[in-house]
Structure 1
Amino acid sequence: MRHNQTKDAIPLNDLEKRLLNEYQKGLPLSPTPFRDIAERLGTSEALVLKILDRLQKLGVVSRVGPVFKPRQVGTSTLAAMAVPEALLESVAERISAYPEVNHNYEREDHYNLWFVVTAPNQQRLEQVLQEMERETGYAILNLPLEKQFHIDLGFPLWC
């Protein structure tokens, strides 16, 4: 699960905190992962799904799904765009609408919109980047991986 930083604290109950803490990594690889999670948390699959839906709508969780190591499945690239501040949110929404984009974020720089694009092959990756440029009207800085580093982005949210 990917977590967004939020400006205002959102109150979470103990079950929600456990779900976020215990399943940042290591979602069960099974035909019924949410049922498996629910059993381990002592609740129902329906409640786990309801919680995840709520947390995504609130912006606490941006994505629930697999994250693959680079070059293990398909290809990917880090990309950036320089977007006028007034249009940043609408352009970010358009970029996030692509199924090939698993997240985007703002940086305080000339290139202020950053995102990762993943595709089954290099041809599709380039096609997606070109479509994005045409659709938004902004050039994309394509920064493909040159050297791989492993950074564990999981961290305890509550002790």
Structure 2
Amino acid sequence: MDRLEPLDRRLIERFQHGMPLCAEPYRAMAEALGCSEQALLDSLRRLQARDALSRIGPVFEHSRAGASTLVALAVPAERLEQVAARISQYPEVNHNYRREHAYNLWFVLTGPDRASLDRLLAEIETDTGLAPLDLPMEYSYRIDLGFSLENLP
């Protein structure tokens, strides 16, 4: 990986957690970093272009915001890209990713309640012709994952 620009590094270090909850979060982030909002947006675009950034957004405690479940599909290899693209079109889907396993497509499905999830699971099965493996969370573990860039070039 190429060297990170100084602002890119500061942005990652400071805002892996705790993005400002306000009407203008990018402006608040820029102020905290001592740069312009445009410089901050340019940094985010650079990081995204390098695939160093995949998402900016909140992580909600799912039990307070409705219902969610982890879902896995066993997709024939020749259909994987097509099915993944279709699954990603559902606004209730996030964290859609491929795994090296018989169940090779995994995603999180969210909705206002369990009944909504059940309807979506049935729709996905009808839509794809594949039976979803529904893996609702039984226990919640809070892992506040972040990475220090201190030893990176």
TM above 0.5: yes
- Please list every run of 5 or more consecutive structure 2 residues that lacks an aligned counterpart in the other structure: none
Picking from 147, 150, 153, the partner of 1:155 is 147
Residue 124 of structure 1 pairs with residue 96 of structure 2: no
Identity of aligned residues (%): 51
Count of residues in Structure 1 that have an aligned counterpart in Structure 2: 151
**Closer, same or farther in 2 for the Cα pair 1:120/1:57, shift >3 Å?**
farther
**Correspondence 1:88-103 to 2 at 5 A:** 88-103=80-95
**Correspondence 1:45-64 to 2 at 5 A:** 45-64=37-56
Q: Give the aligned partner of residue 8 of structure 2.
A: 16
Within 2, Cα distance between the matches of 1:158 and 1:92?
35
C-alpha deviations, 1:20-73, integer Å up to 9, x for none? Answer: 222111111111111100111122223323433443355332221110123011
Within 1, Cα distance between the matches of 2:133 and 2:54?
23
- Please list every run of 5 or more consecutive structure 1 residues that lacks an aligned counterpart in the other structure: 1-8
Q: Give the aligned partner of residue 133 of structure 2.
A: 141
Q: Decide which moves more: 45-54 or 58-67.
A: 45-54
- Which residue type is aligned with residue 123 of structure 1? A
TM-score normalised by structure 1 residue count: 0.82
**Closer, same or farther in 2 for the Cα pair 1:68/1:158, shift >3 Å?**
same
Structure whose alpha-carbon radius of gyration is higher: 2
1:63/1:102 contact within 8 Å kept: no
Residue 75 of structure 1 pairs with residue 67 of structure 2: yes
- Which residue type is aligned with residue 113 of structure 1? L
Higher relative helix content: 2
Q: Give the aligned partner of residue 4 of structure 1.
A: none
**Correspondence 1:104-115 to 2 at 5 A:** 104-115=96-107
TM-score normalised by structure 2 residue count: 0.85
Q: CA RMSD in A?
A: 2.0
